[in-house]
A = this chain, B = another copy of it.
Amino acid sequence: MPRISGEGVSGNQGVVLTLRTLEALAHSKGQMGVTELAAKLGTTKTRIHRQLRTLLEHGYVAQSEETGRYRVGSRLISLGRHVTEASNLAGLAQPHLSKLREALGQSCVVSQFEHSGARIVMALSGRSPIEIGVKPGSLLPFHNSAQGRVMLAHADPEFRKTVLARPMNATTPETIVTREALLVELEKVRARGWATAANQSAMGLNALAAPFFDASGGVVGAVGIVDLVQYLPPQPLPEQLEAIVQAAAGISTSLGHIAGQ
């Protein structure tokens, strides 16, 4: 007999499987097989297969012609574009960034997590007559920038592993370029929730960054300040730390993240 509604369980239950399937496909960078999905989602192959058939027919997923595995489809991408546009990271982060600039007077930056690094989304230049900052649209490497490090530290462990396997170039004599050293640094960063990068991308330059997260707990991007080491020491001032952490927390909240993991 059907459980009508009562409490807790209600509505369609096939739907949640579908959405979890799409989530799994979206989170996995490449393609996924039926069996793999069934195992990951704890259900039978048949169910997954039927769902995928339907999704395939409507263009939400696509199937590799040769391997038979499935990947995100064009219609889902289109949906994703509309959704992210509605959420609008730049607009959401702007008040927090302005407040940060107001409080510290230094160059402030918001960047977004991408698989190839930290993409600068927005920047406000500091009050100092000397222009220190990064250009919007540019991509910061994971290994030698505060923004990149703090994202990598909070990213999916498996993804972190693949990044650490990539070769790292030294932009200064002090740049961390060995897998082991960076691993140690990242562990420290993850534990305290913020990262610095003194003399890492250029001598005399430092940055301080903290991550923000969305509702699912995944890291979306980072907010940070950039300045000369003289004004932003390797061990940042308490007010700088507090301001950054607060700004990051504010953006997280705006993104629907519930504090406390």
Contact = CB atoms under 8 A, between A and B. Distances in A.
Interface of A: 10-16, 18-19, 22-23, 26-27, 29, 50-51, 53-55, 57-60, 72-88, 90-91, 113-116, 119-123, 135-138, 214-216, 218, 220, 255-256
Contact of A15 (B55, B72, B83, B218): B55
A258 to B, nearest CB: 9
A217 to B, nearest CB: 9
Count of identical protomers in the assembly: 2
A59 B86 CA distance: 16
A50 B12 contact: yes
A82 B155 CA distance: 13
11 contacts: A10-B50, A12-B54, A13-B54, A15-B18, A19-B55, A19-B60, A26-B83, A72-B87, A75-B215, A85-B113, A135-B137
Contacts of A29: 86
Contacts of A26: 79, 82-83, 86
A3 to B, nearest CB: 13
